[in-house]
Structure 1
Amino acid sequence: MLHTSRWKTAFIWLTVLVSVLVAIPNVFSDETLKSFPSWLPTNKVTLGLDLQGGSHIMLKLERADIVKERLETIVGDVRTQLRDANIRYTGLSGVGQQIQVKITDADKLAAAEEALRSLTTPVSVGGLTGGSVTEVTMERGEDGVLRLALTDPGIDYRVSSALTQSMEVVRRRVDELGTTEPLIQRQGEDRIIVQVPGLTDPQRLKALLNQTAKLSFRMVDTSMPVTEAINTRPPAQSEVLYSTDDPAVPYLVEKRALISGENLVDAQASFDQRSNEPVVSFRFDSRGAQRFAQATQQNVGRPFAIILDDQVISAPVIREPILGGSGQISGNFSVEGANDLAVLLRAGALPATLTVVEERTVGPGLGQDSINAGVTASILGALAVVAYMMIFYGTFGLMANIALAANIVMIMAALTLIGSTLTLPGIAGIVLTMGMAVDSNVLIYERIREEARNGRSLIQSIDIGFKKAFATIVDANLTTLIAAVVLFFLGSGPVRGFAVTLSIGIVTTVFTAFTMTFWLMARWYRWKRPKIIPKSIRTGFFDNRNIRFMAMRKINFAAAMVISIASVIGFFTVGMNLGIDFKGGSIIEVKVRQGEADLSDIRERLSQLNLGEVQAQGFGDASSALIRLQAQDGGENAEQSALAKVRGELEAQYDFRRVEVVGPSVSNDLTYTATLGVAVALLGILIYIWFRFEWQFALGAIIATLHDVIFTLGLFVLTGFEFNLTSIAAILTIIGYSLNDTVVVYDRMRENLRRYKKMPLDVLIDESINQTLSRTVLTAGSTFLALLALYVFGGEVIRSFTFAMLAGVVIGTFSSIYIAGPVLIAFKLRPESFQKDDEKEADKAAAKAGA
Structure 2
Amino acid sequence: MLHLSRWKTVLIWLIVFVAALGAAPNLFTDVWLPGWMPHKRVALGLDLQGGSHIVLKAERSDIVRKRLENTVASVRGRLREAGIRYTGLAGNGQTIQVRITDPNQIDRAVSVLTPLTAAATGARDPDVTLSKGNDGQLTLQITGKAIGRSLLAALTQSVDIVGRRAVEAGGIDPVIETRGPDRLSVQVPGLADPQRFKDLSSQDGRLSFHLIDGSMSPQDAMGGTVPARSRIVYSQDDPPDAFLVERTEVLSSADLSDFQVEPGNDEESSILTFRINPESARRFAELTQKNVGRSLAILLDDQVIAAPDIGEPVAGNRGEIPLNYSQEETEDLAAILRSGALPVTLTIVEERTIDPGLGAGSIRSGLVAGFVGAVFVIGLMVAFYGILGVIAGAALVVNIMMILAVLSLSGAPLTLPGVAGIVLTIGIAVDATVLIYERIREEVKGGAHLDQAIEVGYSRAFMTVVDANITTLIAAAILFYLGSDAIRGFAVTLAIGILTTAFTAFLFTRPLVVAWVRHRRFKHLPKSVHTDLFDGTNIRFMGIRRYSFTALAALSLVSMLAVTTIGMNLGIDFTGGSVIEVRSKQGPADLEDIRSRLSQLNIGDIQARRLRDASNAIIRIEAQGGGENAEQSAITLVRSELADQYDFRRVEVVGPAVSGELTRTATLGVLASLAAILVYIWFRFEWQFAVGAIIATLHDVILTLGSFVVTGIEFNLTSIAALLVIVGYSLNDTVVVYDRMRENLKHFRKMPLPILIDASINQTLSRTILTSATTLLSLLALYLFGGEVIRSFALVMLFGVAVGTFSSIYIAAPVLILFRLRPKTFDEKEDGATDEKSGKATV
Letter paired with 1:802: A
Q: Give the direction of change, closer, same or farther, for the CA distance of 1:328–1:748 in structure 2 (3 Å limit).
A: same
Letter paired with 2:475: A
Letter paired with 1:20: A
Q: Give the direction of change, closer, same or farther, for the CA distance of 1:27–1:298 in structure 2 (3 Å limit).
A: farther
Offset, 1:846: 3.2
Match of 1:750 among 742, 763, 766: 742
Residue in structure 2 matched with residue 39 of structure 1 by the alignment:
36
Letter paired with 1:495: I
The aligned length equals 840
Judge conservation of contact 2:607–2:619 (CA < 8 Å) in 1: yes
Match of 1:153 among 126, 145, 157: 145
Residue in structure 1 matched with residue 758 of structure 2 by the alignment:
766
Offset, 1:591: 1.1
Match of 1:104 among 96, 101, 114: 101
Offset, 1:758: 0.7
Residue in structure 2 matched with residue 128 of structure 1 by the alignment:
none
The correspondence of residues 28-427 of structure 1 with structure 2, limited to 5 A, is: 28-29=28-29, 32=30, 35-125=32-122, 131-229=123-221, 234-245=226-237, 248-271=240-263, 278-427=270-419
The separation in 2 between residues aligned to 1:169 and 1:426, in whole angstroms, is 31
Offset, 1:448: 0.6
In structure 2, stretches of 5+ residues that fail to align are none
SS of residue matched to 1:797: helix
**Superimposed CA distance per residue, residues 736-794 of structure 1 (whole angstroms, 9 cap, x where no aligned partner):** 00010011011111111111111111111111111000000100000000000101111
Residue in structure 1 matched with residue 454 of structure 2 by the alignment:
462
**Superimposed CA distance per residue, residues 124-178 of structure 1 (whole angstroms, 9 cap, x where no aligned partner):** 23xxxxx433111121222221111111111111111111111222122223345
Residue in structure 2 matched with residue 8 of structure 1 by the alignment:
8
Residue 595 (str. 1) matches residue 592 (str. 2) = no
The separation in 2 between residues aligned to 1:274 and 1:207, in whole angstroms, is 24
Judge conservation of contact 1:482–1:681 (CA < 8 Å) in 2: yes
437-446 or 169-178, larger mean C-alpha shift: 169-178
Letter paired with 2:56: L
Q: Give the direction of change, closer, same or farther, for the CA distance of 1:116–1:778 in structure 2 (3 Å limit).
A: same
The separation in 2 between residues aligned to 1:832 and 1:630, in whole angstroms, is 60
Q: Give the direction of change, closer, same or farther, for the CA distance of 1:428–1:274 in structure 2 (3 Å limit).
A: closer
The separation in 2 between residues aligned to 1:275 and 1:604, in whole angstroms, is 33
The separation in 2 between residues aligned to 1:15 and 1:269, in whole angstroms, is 58
The separation in 1 between residues aligned to 2:142 and 2:228, in whole angstroms, is 26
Letter paired with 1:4: L
SS of residue matched to 2:582: strand
Judge conservation of contact 1:297–1:320 (CA < 8 Å) in 2: yes
Offset, 1:391: 0.9
Residue 432 (str. 1) matches residue 429 (str. 2) = no
Residue in structure 1 matched with residue 716 of structure 2 by the alignment:
724
The separation in 2 between residues aligned to 1:253 and 1:222, in whole angstroms, is 8
Judge conservation of contact 1:259–1:291 (CA < 8 Å) in 2: no
SS of residue matched to 2:603: coil
The separation in 1 between residues aligned to 2:93 and 2:643, in whole angstroms, is 43
Offset, 1:273: 10
**Superimposed CA distance per residue, residues 414-446 of structure 1 (whole angstroms, 9 cap, x where no aligned partner):** 011111111111100000000000001100010
SS of residue matched to 1:421: coil
The separation in 2 between residues aligned to 1:10 and 1:219, in whole angstroms, is 81
Residue in structure 2 matched with residue 20 of structure 1 by the alignment:
20
The separation in 2 between residues aligned to 1:69 and 1:477, in whole angstroms, is 53
Letter paired with 2:160: E
Residue 807 (str. 1) matches residue 799 (str. 2) = yes
Offset, 1:463: 1.0
The separation in 2 between residues aligned to 1:151 and 1:542, in whole angstroms, is 71
The correspondence of residues 358-757 of structure 1 with structure 2, limited to 5 A, is: 358-757=350-749
Letter paired with 2:11: F
Judge conservation of contact 2:268–2:324 (CA < 8 Å) in 1: no
SS of residue matched to 1:92: strand
Residue 828 (str. 1) matches residue 814 (str. 2) = no
Judge conservation of contact 1:216–1:258 (CA < 8 Å) in 2: yes
SS of residue matched to 1:44: coil
SS of residue matched to 1:378: helix
The separation in 1 between residues aligned to 2:347 and 2:547, in whole angstroms, is 56
431-440 or 322-331, larger mean C-alpha shift: 322-331
Offset, 1:272: 6.5
The separation in 1 between residues aligned to 2:58 and 2:150, in whole angstroms, is 11
SS of residue matched to 1:468: helix
Offset, 1:382: 1.0
Q: Give the direction of change, closer, same or farther, for the CA distance of 1:240–1:534 in structure 2 (3 Å limit).
A: same
Q: Give the direction of change, closer, same or farther, for the CA distance of 1:544–1:274 in structure 2 (3 Å limit).
A: closer
Letter paired with 1:16: V
SS of residue matched to 1:123: coil
Letter paired with 2:747: R
Offset, 1:585: 0.5
The separation in 1 between residues aligned to 2:448 and 2:598, in whole angstroms, is 74
In structure 1, stretches of 5+ residues that fail to align are 126-130
Offset, 1:246: 5.5
Letter paired with 1:709: V
The separation in 2 between residues aligned to 1:732 and 1:63, in whole angstroms, is 35
The separation in 2 between residues aligned to 1:203 and 1:537, in whole angstroms, is 60
Letter paired with 2:233: L
SS of residue matched to 1:656: strand
Offset, 1:366: 1.4
SS of residue matched to 1:132: coil
Judge conservation of contact 2:169–2:193 (CA < 8 Å) in 1: no
Between the aligned residues of both structures, percent identity stands at 57
131-140 or 159-168, larger mean C-alpha shift: 131-140
500-509 or 317-326, larger mean C-alpha shift: 317-326
**Superimposed CA distance per residue, residues 166-213 of structure 1 (whole angstroms, 9 cap, x where no aligned partner):** 122212222334522211111111000101111111111111112111
Offset, 1:488: 0.2
662-671 or 18-27, larger mean C-alpha shift: 18-27
Q: Give the direction of change, closer, same or farther, for the CA distance of 1:760–1:156 in structure 2 (3 Å limit).
A: same
**Superimposed CA distance per residue, residues 211-257 of structure 1 (whole angstroms, 9 cap, x where no aligned partner):** 11111111122333445445655443223333335564443322210
The correspondence of residues 761-800 of structure 1 with structure 2, limited to 5 A, is: 761-800=753-792
Judge conservation of contact 1:723–1:800 (CA < 8 Å) in 2: no
Judge conservation of contact 1:293–1:325 (CA < 8 Å) in 2: no
The separation in 2 between residues aligned to 1:844 and 1:106, in whole angstroms, is 85
The separation in 2 between residues aligned to 1:273 and 1:667, in whole angstroms, is 48
SS of residue matched to 1:93: strand
The separation in 2 between residues aligned to 1:677 and 1:571, in whole angstroms, is 19
Offset, 1:607: 1.3
The separation in 1 between residues aligned to 2:271 and 2:601, in whole angstroms, is 35
The separation in 2 between residues aligned to 1:574 and 1:275, in whole angstroms, is 56
The separation in 1 between residues aligned to 2:429 and 2:534, in whole angstroms, is 21
The separation in 2 between residues aligned to 1:18 and 1:318, in whole angstroms, is 73
Offset, 1:111: 1.6
The separation in 1 between residues aligned to 2:267 and 2:354, in whole angstroms, is 40
